[in-house]
Structure 1
Amino acid sequence: MQQDAVELTPNDHPSLSVRLDNLGGLQLLRFRRLGKLEDLESAIASQQRATELTPDDHPDKASRLHNLAHFLGNRFERLDDPADLQCAIAIQRHALDLTPDGHPDLPRRLDNLGGLYWNRFRRFGKLEDLRSATVKQRRVVRLFRDNDPDKAIAMLNLAFALTADFHRERKRDCFIEALSFYMAASTQSSASPVDRLGSARSAVGLLDSNREFTAAEMLLSAHARVLDVLSELVWLGHTMERRLEESQKLGQLVNSAVSTAIGVNALEQAVEWLDAGRGLIRTQTMSLRDPLYELEQVRPDLARALEDVQVQLRNSINATSGSNATGLMNVVPVTGQDNYSSDRHRGLAIKHGNLLAEVRRLPGFESFLLPKKLSALLASSTPFSGATVFINTDRTRCDALLLLPNGDITTLALPDLSLTKAEKLRTQWTAYLTQERVRERATSAQYRPQSSSAMSPHGILGCLWRWIVGPILKALKADIIDAEADRLPHVTWCPTGPLTQLPLHAAGLYNDDSGPRVYDFVVSSYTPSLSAVTRSIDGFTQQCSMSSILVVTQPNTPGLSPLPGTTLEGARLREVFAASQTPSLALNGDEATPDVVKLALKEHSWLHLALQRPSVLTAVGDEKNPEESMHLAAGMLALGYKGVIATMWSIQDDDAPLIVEAYYKKLLELRAAGTLGAGETGAAYAVHTAQRLREKVGEKNVVRWAPFVHFGIQTSMGGSYRLVTISPLLALYDIRDNMRL
Structure 2
Amino acid sequence: MEDLVMAIVYSRGGLTCPPPILAVALTAHEHVATSSYLRFELLGQGHDIADAVEITRRALDLTRPGDDFRPWVLQKYILYLETHYQYFGQSKYLDDAENRCREFIRLCPNGHLHHALASQTLGSHLLMRFQSHNNPDFLEEAISLCETSLRLQSPGDINRHAPLKSLAVATRLRFEMRKEEADIQRSIEYGEEALDLCRSGSTPYDSAGPLHTLGVSYMRRFEHCGEVDDLEKALQHCLDAVPLLGSSAFLTLGNMLTIYRSRYYRLQDPNDLLEAEKCGLQALDKSPKGDPGKFMTFANLAGVMADLFEHFGKMEYLENAISHGRQSLSLCPPSHPEENLPTMNLALMLSARFELFGEENDMIESNRLSTRALSLCPSGHPKRERCLRTAMVCSMRSWSQTRDIIYLERAIRYARDALPLYSAGSIDHCKSQEYLGTLLHDRFLQSRQRSDLEESIQLQQAAVALCPESSYDHGMFQANLGTALSELFEISDDRTDLDAAIAHYSKANQTISPTHPSRPTLESGLALAYLKITPTSETLVPVAFYLLQSASNNPSANSHTQFNAALRWVRAARAHKHPSMIKAFSRLLALLELRLLTKETVEAQQEFLREIPFRLLASEAAASAIEDGRLDTAIELLEQGRTMLWSRMRGYRHPIDDLRAVNTSLADQFRTASAELEHTALALQQRFTVFPPTSINSPSQVSNIQIDSRLRDHRILSENWTRILNDIREVDGFADFLRTPSLSTLRAVASEGPVILVNVAQGRCDAIIIHQDSSPHLVPLPESTTALFDHLTTQLWDSSGSEHAHRVKQLTVVLRELWRAVVHPVVEALLSLKVELTSRIWWCPTAQLCALPVHAAGPYTAGQRNLPDLFVSSYTPTLNALMTARAGVLQAPNSFPRLLIIGQPQTLPMVEPEIEGIRTIDNFADVLLGAQATSDAVLSELRTHSWIHFACHGSRRHAEPFKSAFELHDGNQVTVLDIARANLPCAEFAFLSACHTAAPDIGTPDEFITLAAALQFAGFRGVVSTFWDMADEDGPQTSRDFYSYMLRRTTVAESRDAAMALNLAVRSMRKRNVPLYRWVNFIHIGI
Task: Report the TM-score, using the length of structure 1 for normalisation.
Answer: 0.78
Instruction: Provide the C-alpha distance between the structure 2 equivalents of 1:401 and 1:41, rounded to a whole number of angstroms.
Output: 53
Helix, strand or coil at the partner of 2:800: helix
Identity of aligned residues (%): 23
Paired position in structure 2 for 1:574: 919
Paired position in structure 1 for 2:848: 498
Instruction: Provide the C-alpha distance between the structure 1 equivalents of 2:718 and 2:428, rounded to a whole number of angstroms.
Output: 36
Deviations for 1:276-322, whole angstroms, at most 9, x for unmatched residues?
2112222223333333444445554444444334333333344323x
Query: Contact 1:313–1:348 (CA<8 Å) still a contact in 2?
Result: no
- Determine if the alignment matches structure 1 residue 591 to structure 2 residue 932: yes
Paired position in structure 2 for 1:402: 769
Unaligned ranges ≥5, structure 2? 1-130, 141-170, 180-222, 224-382, 399-405, 444-450, 689-698, 957-963, 965-995
Paired position in structure 2 for 1:565: 910
Give how far 1:641 is off.
1.3
Helix, strand or coil at the partner of 1:681: helix
Paired position in structure 1 for 2:56: none
Partner residue of 1:356 out of 718, 721, 731: 721
Instruction: Provide the C-alpha distance between the structure 1 equivalents of 2:850 and 2:135, rounded to a whole number of angstroms.
Output: 63
- Determine if the alignment matches structure 1 residue 690 to structure 2 residue 1065: yes
The amino acid across from 2:881 in the alignment is A
Query: Contact 1:478–1:521 (CA<8 Å) still a contact in 2?
Result: no
Paired position in structure 1 for 2:567: 201
Paired position in structure 1 for 2:90: none
Partner residue of 1:245 out of 607, 623, 628: 607
Paired position in structure 1 for 2:672: 308
In 2 relative to 1, CA 39–352 (structure 1 residues): closer, same or farther, beyond 3 Å? closer
Unaligned ranges ≥5, structure 1? 55-60, 326-333, 437-449, 714-741
Partner residue of 1:637 out of 1006, 1016, 1028: 1016
Helix, strand or coil at the partner of 1:669: coil
The amino acid across from 2:720 in the alignment is L
In 2 relative to 1, CA 304–5 (structure 1 residues): closer, same or farther, beyond 3 Å? farther
Give how far 1:604 is off.
3.0
Instruction: Provide the C-alpha distance between the structure 2 equivalents of 1:127 and 1:7, rounded to a whole number of angstroms.
Output: 54
Structure of greater Rg: 2
Query: Contact 2:747–2:772 (CA<8 Å) still a contact in 1?
Result: no
Paired position in structure 1 for 2:28: none
The amino acid across from 2:654 in the alignment is D
- Determine if the alignment matches structure 1 residue 489 to structure 2 residue 839: yes
Query: Contact 1:359–1:368 (CA<8 Å) still a contact in 2?
Result: no
Give how far 1:15 is off.
3.2
After TM superposition, the structure 1 = structure 2 runs for residues 283-322 of structure 1, keeping only pairs within 5 Å, are 283-297=647-661, 300-321=664-685
Instruction: Provide the C-alpha distance between the structure 2 equivalents of 1:671 and 1:132, rounded to a whole number of angstroms.
Output: 83
In 2 relative to 1, CA 660–83 (structure 1 residues): closer, same or farther, beyond 3 Å? closer
Paired position in structure 1 for 2:789: 422
After TM superposition, the structure 1 = structure 2 runs for residues 20-31 of structure 1, keeping only pairs within 5 Å, are 22-29=386-393
Paired position in structure 2 for 1:164: 532
Query: Contact 1:389–1:403 (CA<8 Å) still a contact in 2?
Result: yes
Instruction: Provide the C-alpha distance between the structure 2 equivalents of 1:490 and 1:294, rounded to a whole number of angstroms.
Output: 33
Paired position in structure 1 for 2:461: 89
- Determine if the alignment matches structure 1 residue 176 to structure 2 residue 539: no
The amino acid across from 1:587 in the alignment is L
Instruction: Provide the C-alpha distance between the structure 2 equivalents of 1:378 and 1:233, rounded to a whole number of angstroms.
Output: 30
Paired position in structure 1 for 2:286: none
The amino acid across from 1:178 in the alignment is A
Give how far 1:606 is off.
1.7
Paired position in structure 1 for 2:590: 228
Give how far 1:22 is off.
2.4
Give how far 1:175 is off.
1.4
Instruction: Provide the C-alpha distance between the structure 2 equivalents of 1:180 and 1:481, rounded to a whole number of angstroms.
Output: 46
Helix, strand or coil at the partner of 1:513: coil
Helix, strand or coil at the partner of 2:468: helix
Instruction: Provide the C-alpha distance between the structure 2 equivalents of 1:567 and 1:88, rounded to a whole number of angstroms.
Output: 74
Helix, strand or coil at the partner of 2:791: helix
Paired position in structure 2 for 1:472: 826
Instruction: Provide the C-alpha distance between the structure 1 equivalents of 2:1017 and 2:799, rounded to a whole number of angstroms.
Output: 31
Instruction: Provide the C-alpha distance between the structure 1 equivalents of 2:494 and 2:902, rounded to a whole number of angstroms.
Output: 75
Query: Contact 2:1041–2:1064 (CA<8 Å) still a contact in 1?
Result: yes
Helix, strand or coil at the partner of 1:354: helix
Query: Contact 2:618–2:638 (CA<8 Å) still a contact in 1?
Result: yes
Give how far 1:668 is off.
2.3
Query: Contact 1:464–1:508 (CA<8 Å) still a contact in 2?
Result: yes
Instruction: Provide the C-alpha distance between the structure 2 equivalents of 1:453 and 1:110, rounded to a whole number of angstroms.
Output: 60
Alpha-carbon RMSD across the aligned residues, in angstroms, is: 3.6
Instruction: Provide the C-alpha distance between the structure 1 equivalents of 2:796 and 2:413, rounded to a whole number of angstroms.
Output: 52
The amino acid across from 1:424 in the alignment is H
Give how far 1:612 is off.
2.2
Paired position in structure 2 for 1:730: none
Paired position in structure 1 for 2:817: 463
Helix, strand or coil at the partner of 1:630: coil
Give how far 1:30 is off.
5.3
The amino acid across from 1:243 in the alignment is Q
Partner residue of 2:1027 out of 642, 648, 672: 648
Instruction: Provide the C-alpha distance between the structure 2 equivalents of 1:555 and 1:308, rounded to a whole number of angstroms.
Output: 39
Give how far 1:398 is off.
1.1
Helix, strand or coil at the partner of 1:405: coil
The amino acid across from 2:796 in the alignment is W
The amino acid across from 1:278 in the alignment is R
- Determine if the alignment matches structure 1 residue 525 to structure 2 residue 874: yes
After TM superposition, the structure 1 = structure 2 runs for residues 37-436 of structure 1, keeping only pairs within 5 Å, are 40=412, 43-44=415-416, 46-52=418-424, 62=427, 65-72=430-437, 74-75=439-440, 79-80=451-452, 82=454, 85-86=457-458, 88-97=460-469, 99=470, 105=473, 107-112=475-480, 114-115=482-483, 118=486, 127=495, 130-165=498-533, 168-211=534-577, 214-215=578-579, 218-238=580-600, 240-248=602-610, 249=612, 250-297=614-661, 300-321=664-685, 339=704, 342-362=707-727, 363-364=730-731, 365-379=734-748, 381=749, 384-406=751-773, 408-436=775-803
Instruction: Provide the C-alpha distance between the structure 2 equivalents of 1:395 and 1:189, rounded to a whole number of angstroms.
Output: 32
Helix, strand or coil at the partner of 2:1024: strand
| RCO higher in structure (CA 8 A, sep ≥6) | 1
Partner residue of 1:508 out of 834, 858, 873: 858
Instruction: Provide the C-alpha distance between the structure 1 equivalents of 2:853 and 2:413, rounded to a whole number of angstroms.
Output: 57
Helix, strand or coil at the partner of 2:422: helix
Give how far 1:233 is off.
3.7
Instruction: Provide the C-alpha distance between the structure 1 equivalents of 2:913 and 2:1085, rounded to a whole number of angstroms.
Output: 25
The amino acid across from 2:530 in the alignment is L
Give how far 1:478 is off.
7.2
Give how far 1:65 is off.
3.3
Paired position in structure 1 for 2:259: none
Instruction: Provide the C-alpha distance between the structure 2 equivalents of 1:295 and 1:143, rounded to a whole number of angstroms.
Output: 48
Query: Contact 2:1021–2:1086 (CA<8 Å) still a contact in 1?
Result: yes
Helix, strand or coil at the partner of 1:80: helix
Instruction: Provide the C-alpha distance between the structure 2 equivalents of 1:491 and 1:454, rounded to a whole number of angstroms.
Output: 26
- Determine if the alignment matches structure 1 residue 15 to structure 2 residue 179: no
Helix, strand or coil at the partner of 1:96: coil
The amino acid across from 2:566 in the alignment is A
Give how far 1:152 is off.
0.8
Paired position in structure 2 for 1:720: none
Instruction: Provide the C-alpha distance between the structure 2 equivalents of 1:542 and 1:471, rounded to a whole number of angstroms.
Output: 36
Give how far 1:431 is off.
2.7
Instruction: Provide the C-alpha distance between the structure 1 equivalents of 2:656 and 2:548, rounded to a whole number of angstroms.
Output: 37
- Determine if the alignment matches structure 1 residue 606 to structure 2 residue 947: yes
Query: Contact 1:70–1:112 (CA<8 Å) still a contact in 2?
Result: no
Instruction: Provide the C-alpha distance between the structure 1 equivalents of 2:1033 and 2:411, rounded to a whole number of angstroms.
Output: 64
The amino acid across from 1:15 in the alignment is E
Give how far 1:514 is off.
0.9
Instruction: Provide the C-alpha distance between the structure 2 equivalents of 1:258 and 1:194, rounded to a whole number of angstroms.
Output: 23
Helix, strand or coil at the partner of 1:417: coil
Query: Contact 1:663–1:687 (CA<8 Å) still a contact in 2?
Result: yes
Paired position in structure 1 for 2:74: none
Helix, strand or coil at the partner of 2:862: coil
In 2 relative to 1, CA 374–704 (structure 1 residues): closer, same or farther, beyond 3 Å? same
The range that moved more, 109-118 or 172-181, is: 109-118
How many residues get paired? 651
Instruction: Provide the C-alpha distance between the structure 2 equivalents of 1:42 and 1:224, rounded to a whole number of angstroms.
Output: 40
